Amino acid sequence: MGWAGIHAFKFEVSRLLGDGDEPNWMTGRGEDILQLYIDDSIKDSLPDPDIIKKMSDYTLKDIYEQEEYKGKVELSYEYDHGDGWDHDIVFLGKVEPSMRKSMRVPDSLAVFCLGGEGHPCAEDAGGAGGWLDLKAEFKKKGDKDGVKLWYKTSCANGDPKGLDPYNWSILDVNDGLAKIEA
């Protein structure tokens, strides 16, 4: 997602309930939420610090292949609790070998991306509104407020060349994903 990894984050796993299951008493929706915090920095602020889990102790396989979650899970990821970047992650499952072959995806790749768009959001831009403002500034001439210079020199995931908000490469994404082991 292009984050520099300098902020707290958490994952929430929602197990969708089947027919006949009781809705969650807190949300009233037909889901059961397992909060999987993978951030030690908030441990002391929680009423039950034992719900904190270490990222190194879990994989997607741990969640998606457990019988209680198989085929009925949604995953949300919040990065930077201050700016509040929320991501919904959809796991499409294992791809049939014929699809991998037709797309020329090497067997050595455990995970790959099928599509996407847009440049990763800038760290510390101030949430969605700040990101929209930053992109608008890069369409203007000059740098009256210094935000272009900030992005090029100080933003944790900025680029010295500037910002093209539509720049996105599936090849770059899949190069990063290629480092994930099965």
At 106 the pLDDT is: 79
Quick check: 117 and 168 in contact, CB under 8 A? yes
The predicted model gives 21-27 an average pLDDT of 48
Quick check: 36 and 58 in contact, CB under 8 A? yes
Residue 28 reports pLDDT greater than 50:
no
Higher pLDDT pick, 78 / 182: 78
pTM of structure: 0.67
What are the sequence ranges of the domains in the chain?
120-166
At 143 the pLDDT is: 93
Each residue's pLDDT tens digit, 122-147 = 999 999 999 999 999 999 999 989 99
At 91 the pLDDT is: 64
Among the listed residues 149, 11, 3, 160, the one whose alpha carbon sits nearest the alpha carbon of residue 83: 3
Among the listed residues 6, 8, 27, the one whose alpha carbon sits nearest the alpha carbon of residue 77: 8
At 24 the pLDDT is: 47
At 27 the pLDDT is: 46
At 154 the pLDDT is: 94
At 94 the pLDDT is: 65
Instruction: Kindly state the tokens that stand for 127.
Output: 């949430």
At 54 the pLDDT is: 62
The predicted model gives 166-175 an average pLDDT of 86
At 13 the pLDDT is: 72
Residue 158 reports pLDDT greater than 80:
yes
At 44 the pLDDT is: 62
Q: Three-class SS of residue 53?
A: coil
Instruction: For the chain, give the mean pLDDT.
Output: 76
Among the listed residues 57, 4, 68, 6, the one whose alpha carbon sits nearest the alpha carbon of residue 32: 68
